[in-house]
Amino acid sequence: MAAVAALAATVVGAGATWVATRPAAPELTRLTISDVGNSALRLAQGNNDIALSPDGRHLVYVTTDIPSQLRIRSLDEFEDRLLFEGPVAAPFFSWDGSQVAFGSRDQ
């Protein structure tokens, strides 16, 4: 009987520890990317023209403008900012999210 009580106490204790230490549910963010003037987000098969920062707070993307534009948007703001204008392709964030790099479409 004592063994059953000890097992029950262990299970209850483990369950309470799991509930108390589990990570909080991630925050859900929804957004719309509106066209800027004549530009639009370029999404085509085989292109990686959009990137999300490692912390999930920023989005960089390439527009269809000529020349194309690299724009960044903080997901807690409504407006984006121009980072670079030129033959931009395949943007990505550094491992810590502090820098953005990209390739070029010039060949």
Residues linked to residue 89 through DSSP beta bridges, in sequence order: 103
For the chain, what are the domain ranges? 28-107
pLDDT, one tens digit per residue, over 36-68 is 555 666 666 566 788 999 998 999 998 877 788
The 10 Å Cβ neighbour count of residue 75 is 14
Global pTM reads 0.64
Q: How many residues belong to the chain? A: 107
CA 17 – CA 58 distance, rounded (Å): 34
Q: What is the pLDDT of residue 54?
A: 93
CA 87 – CA 107 distance, rounded (Å): 10
Task: Determine contact, residues 43/63, Cβ cutoff 8 Å.
Answer: no
Tokens standing for 59?
């989005």
Task: Determine contact, residues 64/44, Cβ cutoff 8 Å.
Answer: no
81 contacts: CB under 8 Å, gap ≥ 6: 71, 72, 73
Residue recorded with tokens 């194309």: 68
Q: What is the largest CA-CA distance in the chain?
A: 79
Q: What is the pLDDT of residue 64?
A: 79
pLDDT, one tens digit per residue, over 64-92 is 777 888 999 998 888 889 999 988 888 99
